[in-house]
Structure 1
Amino acid sequence: MELQELIEKYPDSNLMAYIKACKSGEITIGKELMLQLDLIMDDFNNEDITVDFSDADKRIRFIEKECKHSEAPHAGKPFILELFQKAFVEAIYAFKIYDEEVGRLVRKYNEILFLVSRKNGKTPLISALCLAEFFSGDLGTKILCSSNDYDQADLAFQAIDAMREQSKKLEKCTRKNIKGIYFGNPRHVKKKGKFSYANKGNIRKISAKTGAKEGKNIRVGMSDEIHEMKDDAAVMPIRQALSTQDDPIYFELTTEGFVNDGYLDHRLHDARMVLKGELDRPRWLIWLYTQDSETEVWQDKESWVKSNPGIGIIKKKSFLAGMIDEAKTNMQTRAFVLSKDFNLKQNNSNAAFSPELYTCSETFDPSVLQGCMAIGGVDLAMSIDLASARLMVMRPNDRKKYFIQQYFIPEDKLSAKDDGKDYKEWSRQGLITVSPGAANDFDKITDWFVNTVNQYSLRVFKIGYDDALAKYWLKSMSEIFDDVDQVCMTRIAQKREVLSAPFSLLESDLRNKLIVTNNNPIDEWCLSNLAIDMDKRGLILPCKAGGKAEKKIDGAATIINCEAVYLQNSSEFNAYVNS
């Protein structure tokens, strides 16, 4: 049957109403969700599938009648489902197939992947569905809330418990302890029946770090924020625990994340193959709220609803607009917003900076820096690789940061063509110092610092270094640059907590044209290869674009080391600069 015929056949169906609105353009959705809706249209027309809305209606009524929100600004208010939420619930429960092994009709969809941007109510919705299953499902229904860590698993569990506590009817026949939620209440004892101690169903929580995940027997499983999982170690025991049930249900709910080649990446790869008809997983419901492109995020505010179905109702449009404005000028914010607010995966295959940011044609005569204050940075490489050293010099009453730099390479590496670059030509231009043999001679790096400082009478404030390979070199540099009053050599730990802020400062300085590399082509190459690896806290670790070894970032690393020293000592350093 065509869409209009189905609408007439199921006039009270929220799912049909949603499909009609999406098909007509009244509701805007992405191409991936539209593919799933097309598959659902096939379900409606499949003679082997029974369409029955009674289970869905039962759960919708339960949620709207018994469940209340527990968090501001809706705390204490009834959980009234929006059309997109009701359509989702009906898609899960309305389609039944005959299971010969069980000998009766069961739900067609027993696995659900629900991808939606943050703050669109995904955890409360699935938590409410789990609570509905606990009361509306079979006797002895056991439910397990899981996530990559215990705190996240506890969020779903606490959401379920908060809704249970706010309903007098639900609270009256259940109890909670440190292990979970159970039927039977010592204050209101029922001797028999579904809501008595005789019902051994329960709701419990577990994380990827919890031991003894094997051997459980559950009917409903819920894995929250699966984007944080590196592999399937946390979810497979839960999926296996469903294997004894006649009509199990397994929810995976998440936003996009930052783990590269992780569990979610593999699940989405398979899911997209299913949606395109390239992989047969008929019992998997794939409900993806995604954008069709990154471009539309910047150019079309009306497209934001594709990944944010609750925008204007659950999630504030003004908040999202503010985040977009900030993301336009901040790479760290941009990566986080695109991933978490628009479900656009951000990974280290993408360069951090656009060419207009890292291309710097401004030149200067280093002699104009005579007597100025400098911060040093170094990135060492012992074997056949590139090393970088630089001085970041600032002049009085001038915000610009002027760089004098030198690169170092072993002779055995000189003929290599990393990323098509010609190290021999750069060495002929004096941009690279060559060490005999297969390893960099760190004494040459020391000599460069000494000679450059003396040539321009620079005052060295501090020199930032990564302590990898630095033990011998640090000793020789300390003997030259440290004195009794000041420790000049400063370790810059190469971890997110240390490098995130300097990276953001570098981006800001590039955007404001404050970085002057004297048109150094190796600096520009290194900056073009710079990417970021972001974690769930929004902290970043600079890395090579695509993880490719030939894409060198040593020069960018030394700039960031200089920025790190500057951030840690900006007041003192600026006082010296202007003294």
Structure 2
Amino acid sequence: MSVPHNVLTYEYNGTHSYFLEYIGKCKAGVITIGHELMEELERRLAHFDDPNIKIDFDDAHKRIKFIETKCKHFEAPFAGKPFLLELFQKAFVEAIYIFKVYDDEIGRWVRLIQDVLFLVARKNGKTPLISALCLAEFFCGEIGTRILCSSNDYEQADLMFQAINSMREESKSLERVTRSNIKGIFFGNPKKPKKTGKFSYKNKGTIKKISAKTGAKEGKNIKVGAVDEVHELKDNTSVMPIRQAVSTQDEPLYIELTTEGVINDGYLDERLREARQVLNGELERPRWLIWLYTQDNEQEVWQDEKSWVKSNPGLGVIKKRSFLKKMIDEAKTSKSMRVFVLSKDFNIKQNNATAWLVHDDIVNEETFDLEEFRNSFGIGGVDLSKSGDLASARVLLMKPGSQKKYFIQKYFIPEAKLSQLSKPDREMFKEWIRQDLIVVSPGNENDFSLVTAWFVKLYKDYGIRVFKTGYDKWSAIYWVKEMDSYGFDCERVAQEFGSMSEPMKLVEADLKSNLIVYQNNPIDKWCLENTALNMNSKMELMPVKVQGKDDKKIDGAVTMIITYKIYIDNRTEFLQMVGR
């Protein structure tokens, strides 16, 4: 008969349990965790009293011992040192392996946990931990164990694979009986005497890497599938082949590891909705381990530094507290950094289509007389838009010795578009037309020659010479030829993360510092208010419409960013022209 578990002595049947130690210290307040992880710990603690579940520590402790004695870190500042697991990591490994259920179809006890969702903030060692666990499974699991490392893109999948391979190479005993090439890691080493038994060429176990987008091509009959950074996935189509591939095994193990993300209604959103239904008792998923390191609310992030460990269990050991403090300080002054830090460092979901700027960032009532810039050089920016839509053109001007950017702008719209606007917007646009802020083209399409004429008029009336003009790709071919015929130098600026990110960040900083003077133009204000930031996993930005404002326009904000892109790429030369 089993001896009851004791969460105070951390033992079960005379065996020390890291899982019981972890939950005991969490309950005692020695370790701080969020309520979602506590709910999962309670759910698993009940297994110790379930007569249908057997508690067996052998598999878990075998893998923990393997990681701590065979695996070594490969990155600074821990490179070359033994991979000594923290208590939260040991508890996590135990939670995967110690619970067994009897399978009537197979006729033996098997591991209860088959699926794992591991959500933890960045820089807490999630990829190295799962990599070490995969390597432990490769050596400690069944002969012929096939493991697949995957992610949304090949580069991210390669990070996990290289982590596994680096740990393998750091250990002489592991490297002696294995080999690796661009296709994967295999048993048997042609440079060493051939071995017999488990670690010989007869063992057909492999570790490979693929992009989740090509999961169906390589993911057949694998025992372990680990998908990194699932927050980048838009839906389940790329991971289902991997999940199905492990289903042929008696004891499959499918692991999803990730931080939070900013993709709206993506794959992770759906997984977390289901996970929280399980934790709330609304769904029954006994074979799914839901290990979420999350904050209980956003307010505690800003008000209680001690709460940071809820989403950062490695804080102070794996992740530096000083680093996190620095991120928090930057997040207080930058919207883009705030989105990134809350999602990546605290696992608080951020909407990637919320307002980029607040009202105070945008408002600047300063104006100027264009005569001040007679015979000056400028940088142009144009968002031509599709037919039947608003178009924007502007010129950025500067004064010698000043960091301020002065904008002159003009908007363009087809006459037919006005009747399609909502009544409030229609009245607003009519007023802007009366103020000569918008030029109306007859018919259904914008006449882009009017855009060219506006640039030409600036030169004729004020001698303003546009050094270079940035433009987006839409309907620009003939317009660029026309501009070229007048001697304007045009450069394409693609509306994508790579080209828009840095200028968007600088526009934000300059707006907050009142370094952008846009003549208090109401259309510029309106466009900035309608603009949201979209962020990818590299913390690159691009402008999009605020969610729920599909009928609003952001063209003015886009042309600001385009001119800043040209400015950044040609800063030295342009400032020399300004100083003449």
TM-score by length of 2: 0.89
| Unpaired runs of at least 5, structure 1 | none
Distance 1:559 1:164, change over 3 A: closer
Task: Give 1:554's aligned residue.
Answer: 555
1:142 and 2:146 are equivalent in the alignment: yes
- Shift of the 508–418 alpha-carbon distance from structure 1 to 2, 3 Å rule, reads farther
Residue 8 of structure 2: SS of its match in structure 1?
Answer: helix
2:34 to 30, 33, 39: 30
Q: Which residue of 2 aligns with 1:87?
A: 91
Residue 64 of structure 1 aligns to which amino acid in structure 2? E
Tell me the residue number matched to 2:52: 48
Residue type of the alignment partner of 1:249: L
The equivalent of 2:184 in structure 1 is 180
User: How many angstroms does 1:260 deviate by?
Assistant: 4.3
- Measure how far apart 1:101 and its partner are: 1.8
Amino acid across the alignment from 1:532 = L
Bigger shift: residues 307-316 or 265-274: 265-274
- CA deviations on 1:232-281 (whole Å, 9 max, x unpaired) are 34422222222222111111112234544433333233223322333332
* 1:517 equivalent in structure 2: 518
**Where do 1:182-331 residues align within 5 Å?**
182-185=186-189, 187-191=192-196, 193-208=197-212, 213=217, 216-331=220-335
Uncovered stretches (5+) of structure 2, i.e. residues with no partner: none
* Matched letter for residue 442 of structure 1: F
* Distance (whole Å) between structure 2 residues aligned to residue 270 and residue 205 of structure 1: 28
2:121 equivalent to 1:117: yes
Verify: 1:431 aligned to 2:437, yes or no: yes
> Any conservation in 2 of the 1:348–1:544 contact (CA below 8 Å)?
no
Q: Verify: 1:447 aligned to 2:453, yes or no.
A: yes
**Are residues 1:361 and 2:365 paired?**
yes
Greater Cα offset, 51-60 or 307-316: 51-60
Q: Cα–Cα, structure 1 residues 213 and 414, in superposed 2: closer, same or farther, change >3 Å?
A: same
Distance apart, 1:414 and its partner CA: 1.7
Post-superposition Cα deviations, 1:370-412, rounded to whole Å, max 9, x if no partner, equal: 4443322221134221111222232344332222222222222
Bigger mean CA offset, 401-410 vs 363-372: 363-372
Q: Distance in 2 between matches of 1:307 and 1:109?
A: 23
The CA distance in 1 between the partners of 2:341 and 2:423, in whole Å, is 31
Q: 1:443 and 1:215 mapped to 2: Cα distance?
A: 55
Give the aligned residue type for 2:363. T
Name the CA shift for 1:158/1:562 in 2 (closer, same or farther; >3 Å). closer
Give the alignment's Cα RMSD to 1 decimal.
2.8
Match of 2:43 in 1: 39
Query: Hey, what does 2:542 align to over in structure 1?
Result: 541
Distance, in Å, in 2 between the alignment partners of 1:180 and 1:376 is 51
The superposition leaves residues 478-499 of structure 1 with CA deviations (integer Å, 9 ceiling, x where unpaired) of 333x1xxxx4333333333222
Partner amino acid for 1:355?
A: H
Q: How many residues align?
A: 571
Q: 1:18 matched to which residue of 2?
A: 22
Q: Which residue of 2 aligns with 1:468?
A: 474
Q: 1:376 to 1:280 in 2, by over 3 A?
A: same
Q: Where does residue 566 of structure 2 map in the other structure?
A: 565
Q: Distance in 1 between matches of 2:491 and 2:242?
A: 48
Q: Distance in 2 between matches of 1:149 and 1:313?
A: 30
User: Do the aligned partners of residues 81 and 455 (structure 1) sit closer, same or farther apart at CA in structure 2, a change above 3 Å counting?
Assistant: same
Q: Distance in 2 between matches of 1:420 and 1:576?
A: 44
Q: 1:240 corresponds to which letter in structure 2?
A: Q
How many Å separate the matches in 1 of 2:236 and 2:423? 35
Are the structure 2 counterparts of residues 366 and 180 from structure 1 closer, same or farther at C-alpha, using a change threshold of 3 Å? closer
Residue 14 of structure 1 deviates from its aligned partner by 1.6
Once the two structures are superposed, residues 114-157 of structure 1 have per-residue CA deviations (whole angstroms, 9 ceiling, x without a partner) of: 12222211122112222222232223322222233334333323
Which string of whole-angstrom CA distances, capped at 9 and with x for unpartnered residues, describes residues 47-101 of structure 1? 4322333322222222222222222222222221111101111111122222222
Q: Which amino acid aligns with 1:410?
A: P
Shift of 1:418: 5.6
Q: Where does 1:158-177 land on structure 2 (aligned, <5 Å)?
A: 158-177=162-181
Instruction: Measure how far apart 1:352 and its partner are.
Output: 1.6
2:315 partner amino acid:
I
Offset of residue 365 of structure 1: 4.0
Alignment check: 8 A CA contact 1:466 1:493 kept:
yes
Could you say which residue in structure 2 is the equivalent of 1:69?
73
Matching residue's letter, 1:153: A
In structure 2, the CA distance between the partners of 1:106 and 1:418, relative to structure 1 (3 Å rule), is farther
What CA distance in whole angstroms lies between the structure 2 residues aligned with 1:115 and 1:281?
Answer: 17
State the alpha-carbon separation in 2 of the partners of residues 296 and 416 from structure 1.
46
Cα distance in 2 for residues equivalent to 1:229 and 1:245: 25
Amino acid at match of 1:557: V
For residues 377 and 223 of structure 1, the distance between their equivalents in structure 2, rounded to whole angstroms, comes to 42
- Match of 2:254, SS state, is strand
The one-letter code of the counterpart of 2:489 is C
Please identify, of 296-305 and 173-182, the stretch whose mean Cα deviation from structure 2 is larger.
173-182
Q: Which one of 389, 392, 400 corresponds to residue 388 of structure 1?
A: 392
Structure 1 CA distance, aligned partners of 2:317 and 2:139?
28
Cα distance in 2, alignment partners of residues 226 and 181 from structure 1: 24
Q: What is the SS of the residue equivalent to 1:69?
A: coil
Identity %: 60
Measured after TM superposition, the shift of residue 307 of structure 1 is 1.9
Q: Measure, in 2, the Cα distance between the counterparts of 1:558 and 1:294.
A: 34
Q: 1:395 to 1:40 in 2, by over 3 A?
A: same
Q: Matched residues in 2 for 1:574 and 1:124: separation?
A: 47
For the 8 Å contact 1:95–1:109, the answer to whether it is kept is yes
Contact persistence 2:210–2:218 (CA under 8 A):
no
Q: Distance in 2 between matches of 1:164 and 1:490?
A: 49
TM-score (norm 1): 0.90
Q: Is the contact made by 1:349 and 1:531 (CA closer than 8 Å) also made in structure 2? A: yes
SS at match of 2:543: strand
Kindly report structure 1 stretches of 4+ aligned residues shifted beyond 6 Å.
none
CA distance in structure 2 between the partners assigned to 1:257 and 1:297 by the alignment: 17
